[in-house]
Each structure stands twice: as C-alpha cells, then as structure tokens.
C-alpha cells in the first residue's frame, strides 16, 4: 500500500500542475482560469453565518465537507476538531478535539457522526453530544464520508475496499473490493445507501452495488473505460458520490461517461461521453455535470442528450453542482459561488466566499452550505425556498 500511496501522491502533483486534472497534459504550466465577466444579477445571496473547523489549507486534497442531518450541521477539521452547529443560525452546539488528522467526512446518520483519518481510523461520535462511541482501524486512508443506514455503517477506503461495519460498535460485518489501478487521482467516491444496497464508485472506473446484509455483489458496471498508452491517459476514476433519484442512479467518471442506470439492477438506460472528477446532480428534467475542464453541462434526463453548456468558467476547477430551486450552483478555485439557470445555463447570481471551494456544496431550502479549503463552513441565504 505504501508504494501505491506514493504513486497516487505523484499523480496529485502532476495533475494539480495540469490545471486540476484537465486534458492539457502536454503543457508545462497550467492555463490561467478564465477571467470572470460581469453579470446582471437577478438576486443577491447573503452570507447568513460562518464557522471555522480550525483547519489550515492542506497541501493535498482531503475529503472534508459538512453534513446535514435534521436541523444540525456537522463539520470536521484536518487538525482534529469535530463540531455540531444549528442549521438555521450557525450556533455551535458542541465541539470536540481529537489527536487525529482527519481527512474524510463527516458522515451523519443513525445517531452518529462519522469521521475518517489519513491513517485509516474510522471514528464514530454521538450526534447529540460528540462523545466517542467507537473507533476502528482500517487498512488504508479514508478520503470520503461514510454512510450510515439503520444498524450499518458503510465505509470506502482508497485501496478499493468497501466495508460494512456495525453501527453499534464498529465491528466488521463484511468487506467487498475492486482491483484499483496503480495510478489514480487523489479522491474517493463516497458510498450511498439505497434500499438494500450500498453503492460506490472506484478508481478503475467501475460502479458497484453490494447487499447491505452480506456485502455480496448485486451488480457491477463500467462507467469509465481506460484508453491511451500512458498511465495518465488511462485514468478513469469515479471520485464523486453517485446520485440516487427515485429508481434511477446517476454517476460520472473522469475521462469517461455520465450514465443513468436503474438503481436496483444497474441496467444502463443511457450514457454520454463526458469527463468529470467533481460530480453530478439531477432533478426531474435534467442531469448537471461539472466537467474536468470547468464547463457546466446540462444533459436531458430522459435521453442523455446535451441541452446546454456554460463555458465561461473553464479552468476554474469547479465543485460538484447542486440544485437549489430553479438554479444549479457551483463554486470555484477562487471561492466564487455561481448560480446558473437550470433552463439555459445563464448566470443568475454570484457571491464570493472566503477562499477556494473544492467540496460539493449542500442545499437546505434557501440555504446553501459550503466548506472552503481553509476549513470555514459558510451558509448563504437566497430569496425564496
């Protein structure tokens, strides 16, 4: 595992130099982000509150982002802090400090707050008071939030393993795995739980669903297919969380495809050639992708055909998109938040957070939550709900 970690770090350095893992791999210097042009704002987002997790900006990408559960927001900082905030006001409900280096989470559910470390420790805290419930040592770094459902916690590690742990004590029930390539992007697809299945993407471009009961594979689908002669050209990671919407599942791979699958069987309804390492969102009519190059694209939900493409944010290393009312929202390398019309991709509003945003924002009614790379959780309020 040590050798593979060294190669992964090398990939991070190489791809970070190449404008956020974009296709401009032949250049020695990254292209500058596209300069922002003025827009005619249709509404004015306002910062409602902010709270620090006590994190300095890391040199390597981490999988830290806030989680919403009920009327609470949970956050974690790389230097060992975990905190709970009131969703509406940002008032701190509790904060705990641990002598650990957090790199993943938090995940929240089943009365637990789940945080992972770069050393492979999975820590479970009580959601009410932050008291430690249990901790277990896994075999590899954690870079994605765990998913909790009922009496089970599902955890994905960077070495291609998916664990099912008892929510009560962290004891392992089952483990499933995929063969992952020697070279990959730094990042891990967070697992999701849907019905009786746990679903996660992997660095080999495959999406796998396993039974919550025993970890047996229910289905396994290739979203990315390796091409090219060099290891960089053959990167096909699924680094973003799959999106479940009704009976459908949506996922996207770097240098691969966006797909719509049936949730329970993995049957492919459509696919569309596109590259993304950030993520995907979906509503009743469209599927929205932040591409590796920095475009925001809407695909037709029924057919997968491209409906519009907003290219004014190229090379700005966008976050995954989220849907808020009639807008699709992304944040960028300079901490600028962009609200785009879901109808045509035109700019509707813009705001500036404290610093770069890599993690996907969250939406709760007219509140947009995000965490900057400096570890500050911000809540932005927009008109309406």
Coil, helix or strand for 3?
A: helix
Reported as type and span, the H/E element at residue 385 is: none
Other C-beta atoms within 10 Å of 225: how many? 13
Closest CA to 48 of 10, 74, 86, 14: 86
Q: Tell how far CA 161 is from the center of its chain.
A: 18
Q: For position 62, what pLDDT does the model report?
A: 84
- 331-384 pLDDT, tens digit each: 999 999 999 999 999 999 999 998 899 999 999 999 999 999 999 999 999 986
Q: Tell how far CA 322 is from the center of its chain.
A: 11
Degrees, nearest 5: CA angle 276-278-284: 85
pLDDT exceeds 50 at position 24: no
Tokens of 271: 């696919």
Helices of type H across the chain: 2-17
Q: For position 206, what pLDDT does the model report?
A: 94
pLDDT exceeds 70 at position 11: no
pLDDT exceeds 60 at position 46: yes
pLDDT exceeds 70 at position 330: yes
d(CA 19, CA 224): 21
* Mean pLDDT of all residues in 19-41: 68
d(CA 71, CA 342): 27
- 146-177 pLDDT, tens digit each: 999 999 999 999 999 999 999 999 999 999 99
- 241-260 pLDDT, tens digit each: 999 999 999 999 999 999 99
Tokens of 380: 């932005």
d(CA 332, CA 41): 18
pLDDT exceeds 50 at position 240: yes
Q: For position 57, what pLDDT does the model report?
A: 59
d(CA 372, CA 294): 18
pLDDT exceeds 60 at position 78: yes
Q: For position 50, what pLDDT does the model report?
A: 97
Whole-number percent of the chain with pLDDT over 90:
81
- 84-100 pLDDT, tens digit each: 999 999 999 999 999 99
Tell me what the pLDDT averaged over the chain comes to. Answer: 90
Split at pLDDT 50, 70, 90, the class of 27 is very low
pLDDT exceeds 90 at position 219: yes
Closest CA to 198 of 233, 162, 225: 162
Closest CA to 221 of 267, 175, 190, 275: 267
Placement of tokens 């904060």 in the chain: 95
């Amino acid at each position: 595992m040590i050798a593979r970690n060294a190669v992964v770090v090398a990939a991070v350095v190489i791809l970070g130099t190449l404008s956020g893992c974009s296709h401009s791999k032949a250049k020695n210097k990254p292209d500058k982000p596209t300069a922002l042009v003025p827009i005619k704002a249709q509404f004015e987002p306002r910062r409602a509150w902010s709270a620090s997790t006590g994190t300095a900006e890391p040199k390597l990408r981490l999988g830290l982002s806030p989680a919403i559960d009920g009327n609470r927001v949970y956050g974690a900082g790389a230097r060992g802090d975990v905190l709970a905030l009131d969703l509406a006001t940002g008032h701190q409900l509790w904060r705990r400090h641990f002598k650990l280096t957090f790199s993943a989470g938090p995940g929240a559910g089943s009365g637990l707050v789940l945080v992972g470390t770069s050393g492979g420790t999975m820590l479970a805290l009580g959601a009410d008071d932050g008291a430690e419930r249990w901790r277990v040592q896994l075999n590899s770094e954690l870079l994605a939030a765990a998913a909790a459902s009922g009496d089970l916690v599902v955890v994905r590690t960077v070495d291609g393993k998916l664990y099912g742990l008892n929510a009560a004590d962290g004891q392992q029930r089952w483990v499933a795995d995929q063969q992952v390539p020697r070279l990959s992007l730094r990042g891990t697809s967070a697992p999701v739980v849907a019905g009786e299945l746990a679903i996660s993407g992997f660095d080999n471009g495959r999406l796998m669903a396993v039974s919550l009961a025993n970890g047996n594979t229910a289905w396994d689908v290739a979203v990315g297919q390796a091409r090219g002669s060099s290891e960089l050209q053959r990167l096909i990671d699924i680094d973003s969380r799959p999106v479940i919407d009704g009976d459908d599942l949506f996922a996207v791979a770097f240098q691969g495809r966006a797909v719509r699958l049936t949730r329970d069987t993995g049957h492919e309804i459509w696919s569309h050639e596109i590259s993304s390492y950030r993520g995907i969102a979906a509503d009743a009519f469209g599927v929205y992708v932040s591409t590796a190059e920095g475009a925001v694209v809407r695909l037709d939900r029924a057919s997968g055909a491209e409906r519009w493409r907003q290219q004014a944010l190229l090379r700005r290393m966008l976050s995954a998109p989220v849907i808020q009312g009639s807008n699709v929202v992304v944040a960028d390398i300079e901490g600028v938040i962009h609200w785009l019309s879901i109808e045509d991709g035109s700019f509707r509003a813009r705001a500036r957070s404290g610093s770069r945003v890599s993690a996907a924002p969250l939406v709760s009614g007219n509140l947009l939550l995000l965490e900057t790379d400096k570890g500050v959780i911000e809540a932005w309020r927009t008109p309406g709900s």
